[in-house]
């Protein structure tokens, strides 16, 4: 599966004109605060998701002095190549291109470029709402199980219809029947796929967390499927009708699921230091990357923004060792070149490349 062989960025935040050929292995990116390191990772994320992890307002991404921003990448997978590109204009017009053709949906790009992004927002996995954890996990399911995308789309459509009916004053339970049937069936299918991925995910997570020094008995990941009791059923929908009608939306279903992360009986976020949280989050990401690798034999592109921040020397080394063994293309940023370099003293597995970011310009330097 693909890695980024070439990356061209025009007028994206302070990156006016970037043209680099990253290594398929480790890319270490250093530079002072405000030089453009996070913007570089953000540009890659826009390619894979059609949007940024920092803002939903695309206008913010376009250089203040320009009218449009463009990101292009040449993806390589063995002998195969794919070209993906995103262009956005200040007036809101956008173009997503795949191999020279316009495409409608950014999810087509997501399939081309299986991306993982660990950055300051990743703390949200512990302190944020259920939606964040759900999306993190479903992103894995989406890449590992091909049917998931269509299923989820069908479910979202069904949910939307059901919710709009629930908002009618005179609606009766019988009017929801045709939708409820489909709602329950799709819920079962979604849950089935999730559970198939959940097991290896949890075991990979425990394994890593344990090696990081967390006791397995202490730390638990629990999947909450979004239903009150057991699995999806017409009975449960019927029982929740009054409440759903009053609220105007469906309170049960896979769109309400969560993965609770606890230390004993306490949410992990309420007990761990910031640094420990980052270690735990790293274990979640490594688990995601490993399962993807095992189940699909596929490589991921893994972006780690400001990797050294908050981590002590020992954890940092440990994490670097595992990243080195991962079948992934890595983009790792940090303020200090030395600190990044020290993490991979011999680069024994990965072909390394180093880039210096300075006032929005990016230059390859020797390692
Ligand atoms: N739309 C924009 N136009 C021009 N410059 C921008 C825009 N958005 C952000 N910047 C600037 O880009 C710089 C790079 O930010 P960032 O990539 O977060 O730096 P780093 O991660 O290296 O600390 C910042 O100085 C910021 O002010
Ligand atoms: Mg930054």
- The ranges assigned to domains in the chain are 1-114+299-367, 123-297
Distance 242 CA to ligand 2 centre (A): 48
Ligand 1: residues within 6 Å at CB? 13-14, 31, 33-39, 60, 62-64
Q: What is the pLDDT of residue 349?
A: 65
Q: What is the pLDDT of residues 250-281, one digit of tens each?
A: 999 999 999 999 998 899 999 999 999 999 99
The answer, yes or no, to whether residue 216 has pLDDT greater than 60, is yes
Question: Which listed ligand is nearest to 305 at the C-alpha?
Answer: 2
Q: Closest ligand 1 atom to the C-alpha of 31?
A: 22
Q: What is the pLDDT of residue 348?
A: 60
Q: Closest ligand 1 atom to the C-alpha of 59?
A: 1
Distance 34 CA to ligand 2 centre (A): 7
Neighbours of ion ligand 2 (CB under 5 A): 37-38
Distance 120 CA to ligand 2 centre (A): 9
Mean pLDDT across the chain, nearest whole number? 92
Q: What is the pLDDT of residue 347?
A: 60
Average pLDDT over residues 206-226: 88
Q: Closest ligand 1 atom to the C-alpha of 35?
A: 22
SS3 for the chain is CCEEEEEEEEEECCEEEEEECCCCCEEEEECCCCCCHHHHHHHHHHHHHCCCCCCCCHHHHECCCCCEEEEEEEEEECCEEEEEEEEEECCCCEEEEECCEEECCCHHHHHHCCEEEECHHHHHHHHCCHHHHHHHHHHHHHHHCCCHHHHHHHHHHHHHHHHHHHCCCCCCHHHHHHHHHHHHHHHHHHHHHHHHHHHHHHHHHHHHHHHCCCCCCCEEEEEECCCCCCCCCHHHHHHCHHHHHHHCCCCCCHHHCEEEEEECCEEHHHCCCHHHHHHHHHHHHHHHHHHHHHHHCCCEEEEECCCCCCCCHHHHHHHHHHHHHCCEEEEEEECCHHHHHHHCCCCCCCCEEEEEEECCEEEEECC
Atom 19, ligand 1: residue with shortest CA distance: 34
Average pLDDT over residues 162-183: 93
CATH topology of domain 123-297: Glutathione S-transferase Yfyf (Class Pi); Chain A, domain 2 (1.20.1050)
Q: What is the pLDDT of residues 52-85, one digit of tens each?
A: 888 888 899 999 999 999 999 999 988 899 999 9
Q: For a substitution probing ligand 1, which of 17, 30, 34 has the most ligand atoms within 8 Å of its CB?
A: 34
Judge whether 1-114+299-367 and 123-297 match in fold: no
The answer, yes or no, to whether residue 1 has pLDDT greater than 60, is no
The answer, yes or no, to whether residue 51 has pLDDT greater than 80, is no
Average pLDDT over residues 39-48: 95
Could you tell me which residue, 8 or 113, shows the higher pLDDT? 8
CATH 1.10.357.10 fits 1-114+299-367, yes or no: no
Average pLDDT over residues 132-159: 94
Distance 313 CA to ligand 2 centre (A): 20
The answer, yes or no, to whether residue 327 has pLDDT greater than 90, is no
Distance 36 CA to ligand 1 centre (A): 6
């Amino acid at each position: 599966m693909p890695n980024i062989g070439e990356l061209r960025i025009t007028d994206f935040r302070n990156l006016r004109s970037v043209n680099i050929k990253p290594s398929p292995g480790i890319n270490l990116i250093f530079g002072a605060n405000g030089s453009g390191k996070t913007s570089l990772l953000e540009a890659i994320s826009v390619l894979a998701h059609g949007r940024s992890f920092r803002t939903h307002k695309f206008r913010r991404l376009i250089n203040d002095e320009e009218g449009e921003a463009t990101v292009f990448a040449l993806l390589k997978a063995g002998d195969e190549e794919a070209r993906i590109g995103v262009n956005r204009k200040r007036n809101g017009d956008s173009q997503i291109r795949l191999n020279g053709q316009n495409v409608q949906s950014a999810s087509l790009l997501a399939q081309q470029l299986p991306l993982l992004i660990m950055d300051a927002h990743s703390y949200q996995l512990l302190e944020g709402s259920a939606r964040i954890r759900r999306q993190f996990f479903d992103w894995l399911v989406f890449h590992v199980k091909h049917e998931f995308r269509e299923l989820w789309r069908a479910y979202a459509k069904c949910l939307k219809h059901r919710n709009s009916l629930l908002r009618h004053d005179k609606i009766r339970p019988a009017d929801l029947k045709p939708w409820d049937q489909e709602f329950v069936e799709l819920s079962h299918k979604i849950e089935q796929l999730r559970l198939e991925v959940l097991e290896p995910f949890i075991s990979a997570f425990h394994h890593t967390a344990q090696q990081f020094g967390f006791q397995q008995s202490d730390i638990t990941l629990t999947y909450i499927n979004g239903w009150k009791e057991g699995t999806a059923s017409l009975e449960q929908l019927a029982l929740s009708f009054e409440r759903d009608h009053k609220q105007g939306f469906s309170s049960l279903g896979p769109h309400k699921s969560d993965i609770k992360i606890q230390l004993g009986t306490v949410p992990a976020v309420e007990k761990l230091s910031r640094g420990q949280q980052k270690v735990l989050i790293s274990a979640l990401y490594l688990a995601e990357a490993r399962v993807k690798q095992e189940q699909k034999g596929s490589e991921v592109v893994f972006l780690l923004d400001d990797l050294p921040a908050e981590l002590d020397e020992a954890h940092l080394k440990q994490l670097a060792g595992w990243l080195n063994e991962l079948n992934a293309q890595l983009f790792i940023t940090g303020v200090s070149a030395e600190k990044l370099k020290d993490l991979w003293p011999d680069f024994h597995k990965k072909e390394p490349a180093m880039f210096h970011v300075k006032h929005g310009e990016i230059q390859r330097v020797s390692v």
